[in-house]
Structure 1
């Protein structure tokens, strides 16, 4: 805990910075940060004295540890602060993960460059709080890789500092180890005028234990989370996707324990489009902002000095949708092309089947099996169509229905097709069930008859229990 002398020194330094600023915005901001830290230290010191007071108030518990309670009424609500609004939170851990070759480090340096000079983010919002950037990297050399990339991104190099060695008490130098030396880094940040952004590449290096064990990850990553909160510093931890994880939920693809994604307040993911240079950055998880959407980008090789070339990020269009859908669009290979073709077929199947109104899920399953379509593909097609799933009052199971707009559009297509062909059956897929409405629900006799015909006929589907159907909705 900080002493009263430390608090006084911090506040005195803040006052000195502001008094000598001569209107310079950057120095005033540093003074403000010093004042905030002084206030935080004072609050911590006051809390420490309160604990001591409570401990001595009862002789029976004197000298023992005590649990402190904080009343919600005493907590002053505060807004989440952002470097990049809704993308890069201040004082919190952000994980940036992706497959090899997507340019994750170059991307992080592009964001760092914006922080150093207060430029614009990919969505053209401005960075109103420029400042110092710290970076530790075990994978790239500052001289031939990191600094050239910063130069290509237009960074103010005077505001970027690489975390290098640790000077021991005996004068010897040792390599910085994030799993061991984060407390020393925290002390160093406190002695400088603060840092706006810290990049740890890779964040896996902060784990001294088993990176696949949740308890080890939570224990070893907590000092990094605490550092971010203590200094009001945004932290980007760079990571990779696990091999063979394509198609899984993006947060679950981050290598190591799922605790990486759980501790991070924001998880950003990257991917590269097969056969092109187009890449994407997407929000995969956030509990403090929207958790969807993304941006396209490409890497361009530029010359920063005579004989020195480096990659730089060129931002593209904004992308809508979930991270899983965005990644699925750009990572598809030949097998996935076939899967998407099946999904398109499944969407046509559902449009035709539901064109005349709602249909029970059990019947949709039976017809899908008869058409040779996997139920998982049907479920994806349903989500893409935005079809409704409801359980009408008095019904024994769930029903699916197209939105009114899709249903009207389908009817118009049917009429146009019949007009052109002079009649006939419209649509490639058609349920053997008659058109139905929600009320009254399908009678039990007809329901059983329909199921029997599909089970006994070719391509039948085993009837499921209501609980199984409900789980699949």
Structure 2
């Protein structure tokens, strides 16, 4: 049957304007599709279920706060009995308002259940939302529901556009889970399939594991409705034991949300390429960062540290990695800037106290108790009298040697461990 097409014209004056609403502000907008993308095992599904459990309780920070809504899940990769339901239990979900969404088909009088296909089953999805008052639809993975070629822009848009229109109509949010392509490079280009997935979605969140800390990092890589693009947050996956309906128990992952971080997924994905032969650069960056923070009184804004590192010719990613071992990070005040504070004990857990402590005469920050300046009552260092004192009166050469000794001792302790 030929498609009938006709012109429509609507004056802008007849279109009602409205502020964009969020299920979870500023990351998960209502009325559109948000993509969760990353390599396998990064916690994308677990975090989606975590948000779903909060949606049910009406505690997400956003425009549905105080308004509990049900959750629909379209997924077939993980078994519901052994994986999905235990994960929901671990997340604290209300199992009576989480629904597995499937489609029954009858072929030659044989009934089968399958996953929905977009756009073919969009009317059935609308019916499910209306019957359950769902506020969140999780599609895991979105690529299994596309009725067409994933690498053709037209097919992807034909599937996603009706889903986005349905989300707008029902004031709900859609999380579409996808996988990364392997390799380093621009993380924005790593979504599997056509670039239309990224182009059509209004929000894209990228997931990766920071191997240096074990934390999962999530970066808001695209945000059409907020100025939060580029922001990142972290979470842990902690193992918990939950009871099963057969009288046994099983072990699954549960999300521990950690808040914002200045580490990005792009940093992590490209870190392995940067790490080859760069251990000496990292040690140099540690020494530089310690010296810089001490000169600033122990703390400094991250943006100022970045500027200082660029002036001194250091790669910012190398300084960020070094900071994991020698600095604590926190935000200063409401919507404040990131501040790094010197914490030399942070990376010393594997080094022994005996190898860390220098001879008496090294200033107290590095393990000694007496400054070489106080020994001779002079403004010059007793060990390096030709060295010009730093602003705080300390000897820059002693400081550098002490830092080098601490880093070498710590690295030696790690190798032994």
- The residue that corresponds to 2:92 in the other structure is 154
In 2, Cα distance between equivalents of 1:301 and 1:92 = 32
* 1:321 CA drift (Å): 6.2
Q: Distance in 2 between matches of 1:322 and 1:332?
A: 11
Shift of 1:93: 0.2
Query: Of the candidates 128, 134, 150, which is equivalent to residue 211 of structure 1?
Result: 150
Q: Give the equivalent residue in structure 1 for 2:69.
A: 131
Aligned to 1:189: 128
How does 1:74-473 map onto structure 2 within 5 Å? 74-120=14-60, 127-168=65-106, 172-179=111-118, 181-189=120-128, 191-244=130-183, 246=184, 248-274=185-211, 276-289=213-226, 290-305=228-243, 306-320=248-262, 323-325=265-267, 327-328=268-269, 332-333=271-272, 335-336=274-275, 338=277, 421=387
Q: Gapped runs of 5+ residues in structure 1? A: 1-63, 350-377, 386-415, 424-473
Structure 1 or 2, whichever has the larger Rg, is: 1
> Contact 2:24/2:60 (CA < 8 Å) preserved in 1?
no
**1:321 to 1:193, Cα distance in 2 relative to 1, 3 A:** same
Report the Cα distance in structure 1 between the residues aligned to 2:20 and 2:70, rounded to whole angstroms.
Answer: 20
More displaced, 131-140 or 168-177?
A: 168-177
8 Å contact from structure 1 (residues 277, 299) kept in 2: no
Q: TM-score, normalised by structure 1?
A: 0.55
Structure 1 residues 419 and 118, CA, compared in 2 at 3 Å: closer, same or farther?
farther
Shift of 1:337: 5.7
- Secondary structure of the 2:84 match is helix
* Contact 1:272 1:280 (C-alpha < 8 Å) held by counterparts: yes
CA contact (8 A) 1:206 1:221 kept: no
- Structural mapping, 1:33-112, within 5 Å: 65-112=5-52
Q: Which runs of 5+ in 2 are unaligned?
A: 289-312, 321-379, 390-417
Is contact 1:274–1:332 with CA below 8 Å preserved after alignment?
A: no
Stretch moving more, 315-324 or 75-84: 315-324
User: C-alpha distance in 1, partners of 2:129/2:97?
Assistant: 16
**Aligned partners of 2:86 and 2:250 also within 8 Å:** yes
Q: Retained in 2: the 8 A contact 1:293–1:323?
A: no
Q: How far apart are the structure 1 equivalents of 2:63 and 2:217?
A: 19
CA drift of 1:271 comes to 0.6
The size of the alignment, in residue pairs, is 298
Residue equivalent to 1:355? none
Paired with 1:420 and 1:270, the residues of 2 have a C-alpha distance of 52
Q: Is the 8 A contact 1:190 1:231 kept in 2?
A: yes
**Aligned counterparts of 2:5 and 2:230: Cα–Cα separation in 1:** 44
Q: Secondary structure at the match of 1:119?
A: coil
Query: Is residue 96–residue 104 contact of structure 1 (8 Å, CA) maintained in 2?
Result: yes
Shift of 1:71: 2.0
Structure 1 residues 253 and 345: alpha-carbon distance in aligned structure 2, compared to 1, 3 A threshold: farther
Larger fraction in strand: 2
Distance 1:111 1:341 in 2: 41
Q: How far is the alpha carbon of 1:203 from its aligned partner? A: 0.8
In 2: Cα distance, 1:80 partner to 1:128 partner? 18
**Following TM superposition, by how much is the alpha carbon of 1:185 offset from its aligned partner in structure 2, in angstroms?**
2.6
- TM-score of the superposition, structure 2-length normalised? 0.62
After superposition, the Cα gap between the structure-2 partners of 1:380 and 1:142, relative to the gap in structure 1 and judged at 3 Å, is same
SS for the counterpart of 1:78 is: coil
Question: 1:222 deviation in Å?
Answer: 2.0
* 1:182–1:230 distance in 2 versus 1, CA, 3 Å: farther
* d(CA) in 2 for partners of 1:337, 1:125: 46
Please say if residues 23 and 64 of structure 2, whose CA atoms lie closer than 8 Å, have aligned partners that are also in contact. Answer: no
Q: Which string of whole-angstrom CA distances, capped at 9 and with x for unpartnered residues, describes residues 83-106 of structure 1?
A: 101111111100001111211111
In structure 1, the partner of 2:406 is: none
